[in-house]
């Protein structure tokens, strides 16, 4: 025990001499953050004002369709007998795409064909008799009228049974299969002309004031941007949607845009290739107007500006800033006009 005390005594003596407040002079008070900022300046980051492109878009989502597109429906209920084409096939105008069953009891197509055969035979017989002088012109005329009426009747029923494409284009959808029993007016197929595609969007009253026919439009598909133009701007609002219809067309000669697919559509309503652009987050307001902070001679200077267009994320500054000035981008919340700042990298 005596030995332990002998070794501990020098250690305790040394610790006493090293203890603060014993021979070390008066204790210095720690500076507050406010004092440091006052002496050294509020830490900020800067960006040099420069001219750059500014663009304003309105963005919508819309379904793409052929610039000319039609969906054919069944004129009556019945069985699908045959489908002559597939999706993606080219089709000629009046080419039969879907055939309904000929024995449909609602049309009596088979009976109409039989009546036409009889009327045609009578017509041809009366024509020979007329040429031989063995019947009157009146008898021949009556037979001819009956034949023409029977032919028109068959043609009309045939158009109902054999559903044709209304124009040349591409089959983009077939909604039925062979053997299906469909109801009247059921959709059968859709044909479209795909060299150009269109989209319809709905703009608010505020948006439609800025949208003009001929403005650039963009749609992205497969990582590639396709360009088009506004082709139609409604002058009155739709009573159900409470919005204005705006239509655009896009070149699709390479068939890269798919019909029936919903895409984001953008309309370019304003562009300035040489603008002063400031992020919205850097712009503030007070009772005197809109302002930003710039750095001059290591001080924050409140600079009032006037905004031009607003893209949502950025403002186009019309007046108040010049290229080459240094706008403060970080540390704004702590700034006041004339405050000392310290630029950090």
The structural domains of the chain, with segments of one domain joined by +, span 40-54+273-343, 59-64+192-271, 75-185
The residue ranking higher by pLDDT, 224 or 27, is 224
- Asked if the model's pLDDT at residue 254 lies above 60, the reply is yes
What pLDDT, on a 0 to 100 scale, did the predictor assign at position 68?
Answer: 92
Contacts of 15 (CB under 8 A, 6+ apart): none
DSSP secondary structure letters along 43-97: EEEEEE--EEEEEEEEEEEEEEEEEEEEEEE-SS-EEEEEE---TT-EE-TT-EE
Alpha helices in 133-201 (DSSP H): 137-161
What pLDDT, on a 0 to 100 scale, did the predictor assign at position 21?
Answer: 46
What pLDDT, on a 0 to 100 scale, did the predictor assign at position 25?
Answer: 46
- Asked if the model's pLDDT at residue 223 lies above 90, the reply is no
- Asked if the model's pLDDT at residue 3 lies above 70, the reply is no
What pLDDT, on a 0 to 100 scale, did the predictor assign at position 228?
Answer: 96
Round to whole Å and give the CA distance between 65 and 68.
Answer: 8
* CB of 101 closer than 8 Å to CB of 93: no
Round to whole Å and give the CA distance between 216 and 206.
Answer: 19
* CB of 189 closer than 8 Å to CB of 175: yes
Round to whole Å and give the CA distance between 125 and 120.
Answer: 9
- Asked if the model's pLDDT at residue 20 lies above 60, the reply is no
Token pair listed for 80: 């699908």
Least confident among 18-22, 277-281, 283-287: 18-22
The residue ranking higher by pLDDT, 7 or 90, is 90
- Asked if the model's pLDDT at residue 179 lies above 70, the reply is yes
Round to whole Å and give the CA distance between 208 and 76.
Answer: 42
- Asked if the model's pLDDT at residue 167 lies above 90, the reply is yes
What pLDDT, on a 0 to 100 scale, did the predictor assign at position 292?
Answer: 96
Span 265-277, pLDDT tens digits: 999 999 999 999 9
* H or E, element range at 20: none
* CB of 168 closer than 8 Å to CB of 221: no
Band of residue 29 on the pLDDT scale cut at 50, 70, 90: low
What pLDDT, on a 0 to 100 scale, did the predictor assign at position 27?
Answer: 46
Band of residue 2 on the pLDDT scale cut at 50, 70, 90: very low
- Asked if the model's pLDDT at residue 14 lies above 60, the reply is no
- Asked if the model's pLDDT at residue 57 lies above 70, the reply is yes
Cα distances (angstroms) measured from residue 226 to each of 75, 184, 210, 254: 38, 40, 22, 11
What pLDDT, on a 0 to 100 scale, did the predictor assign at position 38?
Answer: 72
Round to whole Å and give the CA distance between 64 and 62.
Answer: 6
* CB of 83 closer than 8 Å to CB of 98: yes
Hey, what CATH topology would domain 40-54+273-343 get? Answer: 2.40.420
Span 325-340, pLDDT tens digits: 999 999 999 899 999 9
Would you say the C-alpha torsion 55, 60, 63, 68 has a positive or negative sign?
negative
How does the average pLDDT of the chain come out, rounded? 88
Hey, what CATH topology would domain 59-64+192-271 get? Answer: Elongation Factor Tu (Ef-tu); domain 3 (2.40.30)
* H or E, element range at 176: none
Mean pLDDT of the 189-218 span? 95
Cα distances (angstroms) measured from residue 126 to each of 123, 132, 151, 154: 5, 10, 17, 21
- Asked if the model's pLDDT at residue 30 lies above 80, the reply is no
What pLDDT, on a 0 to 100 scale, did the predictor assign at position 110?
Answer: 81
Least confident among 57-61, 106-110, 191-195, 259-263: 106-110
Mean pLDDT of the 181-196 span? 93
């Amino acid at each position: 025990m005596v030995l332990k005390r002998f070794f501990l005594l020098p250690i305790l003596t040394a610790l006493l001499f090293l203890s603060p407040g014993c021979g070390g002079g008066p204790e210095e008070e720690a500076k507050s953050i406010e004092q440091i900022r006052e002496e050294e300046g509020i830490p900020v980051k800067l960006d040099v004002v420069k001219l750059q492109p500014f663009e304003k878009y309105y963005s919508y989502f819309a379904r793409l369709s052929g610039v000319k597109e039609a969906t054919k429906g069944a004129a009556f209920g019945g069985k699908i007998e045959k489908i002559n084409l597939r999706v993606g096939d080219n089709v000629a105008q009046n080419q039969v795409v879907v055939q309904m069953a000929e024995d449909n009891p609602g049309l009596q197509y088979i009976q109409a064909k039989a009546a036409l055969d009889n009327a045609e035979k009578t017509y041809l017989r009366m024509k020979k008799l007329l040429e031989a002088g063995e019947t009157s012109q009146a008898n021949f005329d009556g037979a001819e009228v009956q034949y023409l009426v029977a032919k028109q009747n068959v043609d009309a029923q045939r158009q109902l049974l054999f559903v044709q494409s209304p124009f040349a284009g591409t089959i983009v959808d077939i909604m039925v299969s062979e053997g299906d029993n469909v109801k009247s007016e059921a959709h059968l197929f859709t044909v479209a002309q795909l060299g150009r595609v269109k989209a319809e969007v709905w703009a608010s009253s505020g948006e439609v004031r800025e949208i003009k026919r001929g403005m650039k439009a963009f749609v992205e598909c497969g990582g590639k941007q396709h360009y088009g133009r506004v082709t139609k701007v409604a002058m009155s609002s739709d009573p159900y949607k409470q919005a204005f219809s705006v239509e655009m067309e896009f070149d699709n000669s390479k068939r890269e845009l798919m019909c029936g697919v919903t895409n984001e559509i953008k309309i370019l309503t304003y562009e300035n290739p040489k603008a002063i652009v400031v992020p919205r987050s850097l712009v503030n307001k007070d009772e005197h107007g809109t302002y930003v902070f710039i750095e001059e001679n290591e001080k924050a200077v409140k600079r009032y500006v006037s905004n031009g267009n607003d893209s949502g994320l950025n403002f186009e500054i019309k007046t108040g800033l010049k290229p080459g000035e240094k706008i403060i981008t970080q540390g704004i919340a702590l700034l006041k006009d004339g405050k000392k700042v310290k630029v950090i990298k």
